[in-house]
């Protein structure tokens, strides 16, 4: 607080700012808890550290960031059977259904799993019930 100048303080009031529109929705640049971002269509796209500046980012660069994140999300999906999905995750491929995740057994090829095989894996594994930890007094 004591080291900030008036000029630096005034630049902080420039955010959030509208930088243009894409797909008939406006793009807004802001700074939040997890750093600077572009907000488009209710979704948040993080700016790259050291590369993008929220005060100088252009409309074209914001569109690039949105396209990169969408492409990454598409690569995450291996198979989609409606309510059951086979996804590529941080620790390898897994099955998800109704916000529950299930491991794919070793030796199974996630690319070739059918909906019936996924249902069999889900039924075999079962849904684990979580319990709330009791508070220590």
Q: What is the pLDDT of residue 86?
A: 94
Same domain for 67 and 19? yes
Listed as ranges, residues in the chain with pLDDT below 50 are: none
Q: How many domains does the chain have?
A: 2
Same domain for 44 and 88? no
Of the three residues 75, 91, 106, the one that is the final residue of a domain is: 75
Which structure tokens are listed for 75? 């690569």
Same domain for 106 and 85? yes
Distance CA 70, CA 72 (A): 5
Q: What is the pLDDT of residue 133?
A: 62
Do 62 and 27 meet the contact criterion of CB atoms below 8 Å apart?
yes
Q: What is the pLDDT of residue 5?
A: 87
Q: What is the pLDDT of residue 39?
A: 96
Q: What is the pLDDT of residue 126?
A: 80
Q: What is the pLDDT of residue 97?
A: 93
Q: What is the pLDDT of residue 119?
A: 92
Q: How many CA atoms lie within 13 A of 35 on its CB side?
A: 9
Domain span at 21 = 6-75
Same domain for 51 and 97? no
3-state helix, strand, coil in the chain (%, to 5): 30, 30, 40
* pTM metric for this prediction: 0.69
Q: What is the pLDDT of residue 118?
A: 93
């Amino acid at each position: 607080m004591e080291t900030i100048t008036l000029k630096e303080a005034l630049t902080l009031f420039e955010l959030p700012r509208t930088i243009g529109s894409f797909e008939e929705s406006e793009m807004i640049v802001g700074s939040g808890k997890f750093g600077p971002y572009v907000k488009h269509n209710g979704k948040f796209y993080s700016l790259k550290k050291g590369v993008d500046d929220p005060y100088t980012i252009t409309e074209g660069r914001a569109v690039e960031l949105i396209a990169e994140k969408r492409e990454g999300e598409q690569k995450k999906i291996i198979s989609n059977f409606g309510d059951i999905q086979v996804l590529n995750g941080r620790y390898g491929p897994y099955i998800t259904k109704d916000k529950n995740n299930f491991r794919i057994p070793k030796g199974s090829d996630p690319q070739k799993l059918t909906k019936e095989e996924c249902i069999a894996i889900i039924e075999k594994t079962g849904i684990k019930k979580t319990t709330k930890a009791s508070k220590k007094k």
